[in-house]
Amino acid sequence: MKYIFIVLFLGVSIYAQDLGWSHDYKETLQKAKKSGKLVYVLLTSDSCRWCRKFESTTLQDKDIQKRLYKEFEVVHLSRDSDFIPEKFELRPVPRHYFVDENGNILYSTLGYRKVECFNSFMDNAEEKSKKINKG
C-alpha cells in the first residue's frame, strides 16, 4: 500500500511538472494580472482515479493544451499537499475553477470530462468574463 501511494504521488508530481503548471495559486493570480488572462485551477487529490483519467486523456489532447496555454494561466493544486484558498471546495475531485485575475470565480464544475465538454467549460468561462467586463 505504501508503494502504491508513492507511485501515485510521483505520477502526479511528474505530470504537473511536464506540463509546466504552477502549484502556487497566488503566484498564478499575479501572472494573470500581468498577462490579462483568466486562470484555470485544477483541483485534484493524489489518490483520485478520475483525476488521473482526466490528466491522462483530456489534458493530453494537443488542442486542449494549446488552448489552455494560449488563453489561461494554469495552476494544478492537490488537496493533499498544496495551499488551497477557502473559497474552493475540496470534495469531490477533480474540480475545475475558472477565475479572473482578482480570484473571482467565473465558472466551476467537477468531475472527469472529455475534450468536447472541457472545451465548452472554457467557452463558458470566457463568455462570463466578457459579460462582466461589458457590464
- Over the stretch 10-68, which tens digit does the pLDDT of each residue have? 444 444 445 579 999 999 999 999 999 999 999 999 999 999 999 999 999 999 999 99
User: What 3 state SS string does 19-87 have?
Assistant: HCCECCHHHHHHHHHHHCCEEEEEEECCCCHHHHHHHHCHHHCHHHHHHHHHHEEEEEEECCCCCCCCC
**β-strands 72-78, 95-99: how paired?**
unpaired
The reported pLDDT for the residue numbered 133 is 79
Look at 128 and 45; give whichever has higher pLDDT: 45
Whether 33 contacts 94, CB under 8 Å: no
Q: How far is CA 106 from its chain centroid?
A: 13
The CATH number, out of the four listed (3.40.50.300, 3.30.360.10, 3.40.30.10, 3.40.366.10), of the domain defined by the range 2-134: 3.40.30.10
Q: Rounded to whole angstroms, how far apart are CA atoms 99 and 96?
A: 10
Name the pTM for this structure: 0.83
DSSP symbol at 117: H
Span 62-92, pLDDT tens digits: 999 999 999 999 999 999 999 999 999 999 9
